[in-house]
Amino acid sequence: PVTLTIETKDCYSNMLRSPETRGQLVPSELINPATGPIFIEGAEPGDTLKVTIKKIDIEDFGVVSCGDDCGPLAPFIKGNHLEIVGIKEDFAEFLGKYKVPLHKMIGVIGVAPVGDAKRTSYPGRHGGNMDTNMITEGTVLYLPVAVEGALFAVGDVHAVMGDGEVGGSGLEIPANITLTLEVIKGKCYEFPIAEDDSDFCVIATEPTLDKATESCMAASLDFLKDKIDIESQQIIMLMSLAGNLQVSQVVDPEMTVRFTFPKKFMDKKEF
């Protein structure tokens, strides 16, 4: 395993941070930049890239925005708007009076996809713009490797973001991310999987929320069959009782959901 500290720009390539470029339209090719790609020796299709997120250090202010071109609230917005939001010890201070507790998380993290290149605005089986709240300090992310060397990249850190990212942005902020990369040979699942102290979580992306839900549940059952020694239909009942289907984001080109399931109910607790 190798440990790296990676510098990331915010999702507007830091353009809205500086007063000189704040009023300008950010060109689409500068949206959601990711730092990379990083070639990992020995990583091949069929392997898994294990990413342990050790630390996310953020700047002292971020940008939140909304616009009439993005997400379910777009019909209620005219033009583009942004607010600069300061970071105090453990909260973000919106409009100087709303203290929102920080939840630092990574919006874009992934490997190169199968086939044609995908823009970093896209989430998918390769990871990418998953905007998933579980991808935070202390989390381990397992990414299915699709090409030789994996080609890992990361960016789009949020100081905080609610599930769904409903208005189209989190609290977008530059960061230094310290993480460890390691290849797990000869084993991979269909979608990215995250792990924290208490849960495993399958993260699925499809063009619609309905399809993302179907894919997420099928992949979760597939994963849990390897981990729990009871009949398939019993696993499904346990998934009903103890698992949580959650919406990660509804504002990117495709939709992302996740299913979290407690490790304490798994006979095999390792990926």
Q: Could you list the residues that contact Zn ion (CB under 5 A)?
A: 11, 107, 156, 170, 172
145 vs 160 by CB, closer to Zn ion: 160
- The answer to whether 225 and 235 have CB atoms below 8 angstroms apart is yes
Please report how close the Cβ of residue 170 comes to Ca ion at its closest, in angstroms. Answer: 7
8 binds, among Zn ion, Ca ion, none (CB under 5 to 8 A by kind): none
Residue 191 near residue 202 (C-beta atoms within 8 A)? yes
Closest distance to Ca ion from the beta carbon of 165 (Å): 7
Q: What's the CA angle centered on 70, arms 104 and 161, to 5 degrees?
A: 15
* Distance in Å, CB of 205 to Zn ion, minimum: 16
102 versus 184: smaller Cβ distance to Ca ion:
102
Q: Closest residue to Ca ion, Cβ-based? A: 107
Out of Zn ion, Ca ion, none, what residue 195 binds, judged by CB under 5 to 8 A for its kind, is none
Nearest 5°: phi and psi at 28? -60, -30
- Choose between 86 and 262: whose C-beta lies nearer to Zn ion: 86
Return the structure tokens found at 246.
Answer: 């959650």
Question: Which of residues 149 and 253 has its CB atom nearest to Ca ion in the complex?
Answer: 253
Q: Which is nearer to Zn ion, 40 or 135 (CB)?
A: 135
How many C-beta neighbours within 10 Å does residue 84 have?
13
Q: Which positions touch Ca ion (CB under 5 A)?
A: 107, 129, 131, 156
Closest CA to 35 of 12, 4, 16, 7: 7
Q: What's the closest the beta carbon of residue 234 comes to Zn ion, in angstroms?
A: 40
Angle at 39 between CA 38 and CA 41, to 5 degrees: 140
Pick what 65 binds: Ca ion, Zn ion, none; C-beta below 5 to 8 Å, kind-dependent: none
Minimum distance from residue 32 beta carbon to Ca ion (Å): 6
Cα distances (Å, whole numbers) of residue 200 to 31, 54, 127, 142, 197 = 30, 17, 16, 10, 9
